[in-house]
Amino acid sequence: MSICLFGVNHKTADIAIRERFTVAETDYQERIKLVLDHPSIEAVVILSTCNRTEYYLSVSSTSDFEEYYSSLFGQQDNHQVIYKLTNQQAVNHLFAVTAGIDSLVVGETQIQGQVKTAFEAAKQVRIDSSLDKLFQMAFKAAKLVRSETEIGRNPVSVAHCAVQLGRQIFGDLQKQKILVVGAGETSELVIRYLINHQAGHMTLTNRTRSKAEKMARIFDTGVMPLNDMESRLSEFDLIFTATASPLPLISHQAVKKALLSRKHRPMVMIDLSVPRDIEDSIRSFDDVFLYAVDDLQKVITENMSRRQNTVVEARRIIEAEAALYMQWLQRKKYHNLLQQYQNKVDKEKNRILAKKLSENDDEVMQKMEILAHQVSKKIAHPVISGLRKVIESGNEEHIKMIAELLELEIENDT
């Protein structure tokens, strides 16, 4: 069994490409079932956020995985955009992602919840021991990184950067009229950061009105029906969007109309969604400042440089934990060799005893069985211990050589 990964992220693809690969959380299970139709794929976890879409697979054959990958992407197979990783590299990557080391904002905490959601969705369909162990160890590694490095201090997120950007543009947020579109975790973080910076005049809207009303009661904001949003855009100076909508919610035409009503007073729009909630053509208006997720890379926060200095330390922890997982996977992969050898010893012991079965009475036979068991155990123990050490070393050449010497069969994983 091998671990494979393919995906795109903010480092390899811009938002226009990433949004083509996005899978909504509500669609995780349906997509997983489609992937599991492939006979060589034992289990899959799909992780899709504003910064990445990744497929983590447990496969019985890496060559079959390559064929599946090619049939899935076809001519879109651009190695500079879509990355493919296997085993150690894939494990290191997941651990770095879960710890927030691979995020747009290094050390952000929201990703851990997103990874857990992806993992839980996969478990509802089908998970195997390899992926189950992998994700459990990823959560452990992330916890270690947060407790043992500076990354765990003064947590930030993409939502934090978005609010910082709004403050850089407007300065004081108390007088600005603010609209937050969406009622999920990112929107909640945006509202919390806005409150921390004494923002006033906040309004919340969401496709499911009950969710918007519930969040509005918690944070004491106004509520607006989503159907009224475009007609009331002119009321707002600063707009944040963070939804899972597959199509834009704010159109070019609606913003054009809003600017006329505002007599061209500037508007700032910060779109934290992938796919995007705001039509990109809105950038053509002189009086609108539109920022998408990728634009936040240009926002420098006060503790980012400090976080970068701890990445090396965090990666040491990640690599150590990833090596432990690979040892476990190696033992699992070659566990049948240990069992094969033990079965060979038992078979030979039973063959010799069978010859004497008719020559001795039950009492003598019982003593012979006990003696044979003790002797075979004494002979087999150092061999099994040595074989286990070779397996844990991960040296494929040595494993194959020992297996050949002991006349054991290795299951092919090609």
**Which residues form the catalytic set?**
50
Pairing verdict, β 178-181 and 238-241: parallel
SS (H, E, C) the chain: CEEEEEEEECCCCCHHHHHHHCCCHHHHHHHHHHHCCCCCEEEEEEEECCCEEEEEEEECCHHHHHHHHHHHHHHHCCCCCCEEEEHHHHHHHHHHHHCCCCCCCCCCCHHHHHHHHHHHHHHHHCCCHHHHHHHHHHHHHHHHHHHHCHHHCCCCCHHHHHHHHHHHHHCCCCCCCEEEECCCHHHHHHHHHHHHCCCCCEEEECCCHHHHHHHHHHHCCEECCHHHCHHHHHHCCEEEECCCCCCCCECHHHHHHHHHHCCCCCEEEEECCCCCCECHHHHHCCCEEEECHHHHHHCCCCCHHHHHCCHHHHHHHHHHHHHHHHHHHHHHHCHHHHHHHHHHHHHHHHHHHHHHCCCCCHHHHHHHHHHHHHHHHHHHHHHHHHHHHHHHHCCHHHHHHHHHHCCCCCCCCC
Which pair of tokens denotes residue 279? 């039509």
b/e 30-66 (16+ beta carbons within 10 angstroms → b): ebbeebbebebbbbbbbbbbbbbbbbbbbbbbbeebe
Half-sphere exposure of 169 (CA within 13 A, CB side): 20
